Structure 1
């Protein structure tokens, strides 16, 4: 028997074994799907009312303007026919090649076969023709209000992205080539990855984006030295060890969002905002929120304020012996910081000397891209879910934000993991992104109904803790940093809210990039610049029109602003005081604890 015959026999044996494993894994997959925990229909897509209203409007528009439909159809048929004739002509030439491809470039179709192979090229071009037709049809729909138009465009694009030929095994050349090359081993590994992700989420698909085994909180991420100096049921308060001989007298507290964990600001030494702040000579405290379970069902925004914000401010004042603190709020924690400042104004509490807001919304009249999920159909489904379970599982928030960038956060990773059988990358940012938290039932409803939908804080009447809170009551010196391409907290909406605050000392900065990269932007990287403008015109576009672009990170500019409001230089403080001994080393226990679900 020749060497080639031996090798061929081994390959056939490997292929047979892998096909048997695929069959066994497929049965396991079918069993998982059969026992999949049902999810409320109104958490899976828009409500029936939206479909009915949209379909009715499109039908009425078609009846009133039938020529529009005919124009779209004729154009689609014409392009499709022309494409088919070109493909046939290329094959009739006697060469196995695709016709000239003048379509748009798309990184999903980076394999050379999409351009050179007649089959794959035909699929790609037809997909692009169909997608273009759908997008043009969307633009011509009349009769829908702006919110419904945004939703129609968003969910139509979800369908367009989902139906890309790259998302299916038989029409993905990368997957088919690798399957042949590995005698089916890539498909076995891909099925194993798929089953593992489904089992981790009770049969719901949430694509794992990162190799979780590569990271451990407190070991190779979130490693800036510090100690937990206070703990209650809502949060742990971490004080970080000084790295300078002198520090500013006024301490600084960071309130991170409780939708995610605080260590986005402390992933590694090179890009740690926490370490950078400490290195600038500040006594820094950071709140680490508890990951709630059903026992927190009755915890609302007021509890986060009383047992989180006000408790942290009280403890920091006691530990440092200062009458005032400076505070930072990130995302929803910035929204809640603004509520806290309004409440403190009502109560005559002047403990906060200045406030900084990272990517913070306080005026929700323009909800941005996330607004497609804030109509009554989705919010009603969330309300039903939390009333039954006592909390909103982190799965729903993770999935929602993933659909804002589906090709990057769903389909691309799914192709790599399930079709190519690859292990997800070891990327610290994606590890943090997957380490999300639950939300208490009462707080979730208050936030969605009262703030996002009702916009009551911006309207001056958000009722909380026996007070009517108003955005106009926020009158401490403030600095707000928004991000130019933020798809969660649009910079224009952030500007509108900050402009309405009552402070006479306001600074607004727009960083390049998005919700995370625009904030975690260390000066050493020299990557993203920022815009500044001392004026506050009524329109955000006018602010940007008159803004100055500055190279490099905003961190140094903000620190110069903060230092002027942080008092004199004093000897660096030890961690804790005589009444508050350290309870645990940073990053604490809450950040790694798993809730009882």
Structure 2
């Protein structure tokens, strides 16, 4: 609504018109006289300068709050507190629970040394909680401290959830933020209350604290001098130890480099594979060390592989739109591939946000009758964002507006903001356990290729990220059939291309039940895989590596829908990696192997483009 339409000019229009009232006539003339001045004043209020001041203030607050909107957090707590204040029976219930837990803990402390008393007599840690897993935590008084903390954690969870009338999102925000504050106070985070640290101190004569101080000083120096995080990369260097699959950049524009990998078999399947990674990460998550490289595995299975490498945007790229990633990314890559292997369909793979983009591109192509895609594979990629996990805690109107103002100042979402949000989702594993290990135990985790990749963060353009948050997360336009491409809506139901979709059990970014929704969104055969592991480790699951399991089942386009929990119950688990299942699926939709295609085009050769991994990945 136009703000000017609510100004005093509207009030003038409804003043009673009475010709015998001189005072009313004078009032109308006075209002008419000041109307131009009011209009000029409100025009100034709408000016860019005013909003710049507001945005500058919000950007300053964002630096203090870590990008979390104080307004969104305050509204969530007010929602919870007001409903709690109006629920006396609920107040009595949680008060009684606190008294009961206190009495149980006191009784347990009296009987702790009694025969037959188990070490976890009151409450056990959750299976995913590794903080108190060592045998030292079964000894007094550390066991009682751990149980007291876990009881308090459980009480706060019960107190902040299940409050009738509180919106689900506000409830989740309160529960999540309280959990973060409690995690800070865990006895495992302090030297005096952590038996593992005390044991290490006795064994090393305090050497662990000396090494911990050295680790802290090294990390602090890196952070202050260069803005870098803790040392995690070790000897992993792009192009030398990671991203080492042999290939060549065969196309480049202002947003992507397209890498074509050299074949490693005498004959290859005629349909090439195009990989669309997310641009919130460097592409080589799928080309880590040779033993962990999906690219190397694919070329070894006789596939011609193309990979998109996204350019890391700078502040000057603030106006790059979400649709630019489709046009200059997926569409441009398909056009370039058509110049190398003309007339051949493409087997496309999208990972994470790259999978969402691929689904949008596929629906757009289907609308236009473009049949260049032979198959579509989506890895940990969502097309419906109503149940997008704990990331949705950071997505509401207040939070999105706050993020927009923060990005507006810089032109991009900085690497630290994105990394910080992901770390908060698993603060026990990614923050506090690392701080305890590095600074109290005086140890450093052995670097790995996945850790090195995780430290190689990227930035996101202001306009693109704003459109992504609003159109996909906030409004869920893609799932609702309201997402516009070139001014017209697209529908996932137009996709009839066979799909291979992978979700992972412990995914905090793209929960597998959210990924599973593709079953009723597309009109296509869907082969769904539920793999063990999380968002990254469940995808980077090479054959031969122990600990991997998966479930797989194909739903024909005309088959009845089965819900995710029923699906999981009826589909048996299989030991091993899902990669061989995928390559067999691809091969079943491929023609007879033939001679490998040429590397690039004459135009690419003339442009003197570099060998893989290219230039964009290094920035």
- Into which bin does the TM-score normalised by the smaller protein fall? 0.7 to 0.9
Offset at residue 200 of structure 1 (A)? 4.5
Q: Does the CA-based 8 Å contact 2:62-2:402 persist in structure 1?
A: no
SS in 2 for 1:230: strand
C-alpha contact 1:230 1:315 (8 A) present in aligned 2? yes
Question: Partners in 2 of 1:591 and 1:143 — Cα distance?
Answer: 48
Matched-pair contact (CA < 8 Å) for 2:253–2:328: yes
Report whether the alignment pairs 1:570 with 2:594. yes
Which residue number corresponds to residue 163 of structure 2?
141
SS in 1 for 2:417: helix
Sort the Cα spacing of 1:50 and 1:101 in 2 relative to 1 into closer, same or farther, 3 A: closer
C-alpha distance in structure 1 between counterparts of 2:77 and 2:62, whole Å: 25
Report what 2:49 is aligned to. none
Deviation at 1:349, TM superposition (A): 2.6
Structure 2 residue aligned with 1:396, among 390, 397, 417? 417
The aligned counterpart of 1:344 is 365
CA contact (8 A) 2:315 2:411 kept: yes
CA-CA distance at 1:126 after TM superposition? 2.5
1:187-211 CA-to-partner distances (Å, cap 9, x unmatched) read 3443343344445556999963x53
Does residue 1:288 correspond to 2:309, yes or no?
yes
> Given the two structures, how large is their TM-score scaled by the length of structure 1?
0.84
Report the CA distance shift for 1:198/1:454 in structure 2 as closer, same or farther (over 3 A). farther
Is residue 76–residue 171 contact of structure 2 (8 Å, CA) maintained in 1?
no
Rounded Cα–Cα distance in structure 1 between residues aligned with 2:221 and 2:483? 41
Determine the C-alpha separation between the residues in 2 that align with 1:85 and 1:139. Answer: 32
Between the aligned partners of 1:407 and 1:206, the Cα distance in structure 2 is 21
Cα distance change, pair 40–77 in 1 and its aligned pair in 2 (3 A): closer
Tell me which of 331, 335, 356 is aligned to 1:310.
Answer: 331
TM-score (norm 2): 0.82
Q: Does 1:410 align with 2:431?
A: yes
| C-alpha deviation, 1:500, in angstroms | 0.7
Quick check: 1:458–1:497 contact (8 Å CA) kept in 2?
no
User: Where does residue 618 of structure 2 map in the other structure?
Assistant: 592
Q: Residues of 2 paired with 1:534 and 1:508: CA distance? A: 6
Counterpart of 2:18 in structure 1 is none
Name the counterpart of 2:68. 43
CA change 1:279–1:520 in 2 (3 A) is same
**Distance of aligned partners of 1:519 and 1:197 in 2 relative to their CA distance in 1, 3 Å threshold:** same
Alignment of 1:69 with 2:69, yes or no, is no
1:170 and 2:170 matched: no
- Contact 1:257–1:331 (Cα < 8 Å) also in 2: yes
Tell me the CA shift for residue 539 of structure 1: 2.3
Distance 1:569 1:100 in 2: 62
In structure 2, the residue corresponding to 1:38 is in which secondary structure?
A: helix
1-structure distance, mates of 2:120, 2:550:
39
Taking the aligned partners of 1:122 and 1:482, their CA distance within structure 2 comes to 39
Query: 1:511 maps to what in 2?
Result: 531
Deviations 1:83-136 (A, max 9, x none): 55457x89xxxxxxx996535256423555543354x34433322332233234
Query: Could you tell me which of 167, 172, 182 is aligned with 1:150?
Result: 172
Tell me how far apart the structure 2 counterparts of residues 205 and 250 of structure 1 sit (CA, whole Å): 44
For residues 204 and 61 of structure 2, the distance between their equivalents in structure 1, rounded to whole angstroms, comes to: 31
2:278 is the alignment partner of 1:257? yes
Q: Which moved more, 1:51-60 or 1:438-447?
A: 51-60
In 2: Cα distance, 1:230 partner to 1:200 partner: 36
The alpha-carbon deviation at position 278 of structure 1 amounts to: 0.5
Match of 2:385, SS?
coil
How far apart are residue 404 of structure 1 and its match?
A: 1.4
Is 1:116 the counterpart of 2:142? The answer is no
1:52 counterpart residue number: 78
- 1:525-540 superposed matches below 5 A: 525=545, 527-535=547-555, 536-540=560-564
Q: Which among 564, 570, 573 is matched to residue 546 of structure 1?
A: 570
- Paired with 1:227 and 1:215, the residues of 2 have a C-alpha distance of 21
Taking the TM superposition and a 5 Å limit, the aligned residue runs for 1:194-593 are: 194-198=216-220, 200-201=222-223, 208=230, 211-503=232-524, 505-525=525-545, 527-535=547-555, 536-581=560-605, 583-593=609-619
Q: For the structure 1 residues 474 and 111, does the alpha-carbon distance in structure 2 shift closer, same or farther, using more than 3 Å as the test?
A: closer
Any idea what SS the aligned residue of 2:416 has?
helix
Distance 1:239 1:111 in 2: 48
Contact 1:533 1:546 in 2 (8 A): no
Query: Counterparts of 1:524 and 1:101 in 2: how far apart (Å)?
Result: 37
Are 1:102 and 2:125 counterparts?
no
Please, what is the CA RMSD of the aligned residues? 2.9
8 Å Cα contact 1:483-1:514 kept in structure 2? yes
Distance in 1, matches of 2:225 and 2:186, equals 24
1:37 and 1:203 in contact (8 A); partners too:
no
Deviation at 1:534, TM superposition (A): 3.0
Would you say the 8 A contact 2:262–2:599 is kept in 1?
A: yes
**How many residues are paired up?**
548
Give 1:148 deviation, angstroms. 2.8
Residue 258 of structure 1 deviates from its aligned partner by 0.8
SS in 2 for 1:43: coil
C-alpha distance in 1, partners of 2:400/2:223?
A: 22
| Residues 547-571 of structure 1 deviation map (CA, whole Å, 9 limit, x = unaligned) | 2433322222222221233333211
Structure 1 residues 36 and 496: alpha-carbon distance in aligned structure 2, compared to 1, 3 A threshold? closer
| Cα pair 1:37 1:202 within 8 Å, conserved | no
Secondary structure at 1:227's aligned position in 2?
A: strand
> Cα distance 1:466–1:142, how it changes in 2: closer, same or farther (>3 A)?
closer
The structure 1 segments of at least 4 consecutive aligned residues displaced by more than 4 Å after TM superposition are 83-87, 98-101, 110-113, 176-185, 198-207
Provide the C-alpha distance between the structure 1 equivalents of 2:576 and 2:134, rounded to a whole number of angstroms: 35
Deviation (angstroms), 1:80: 4.1
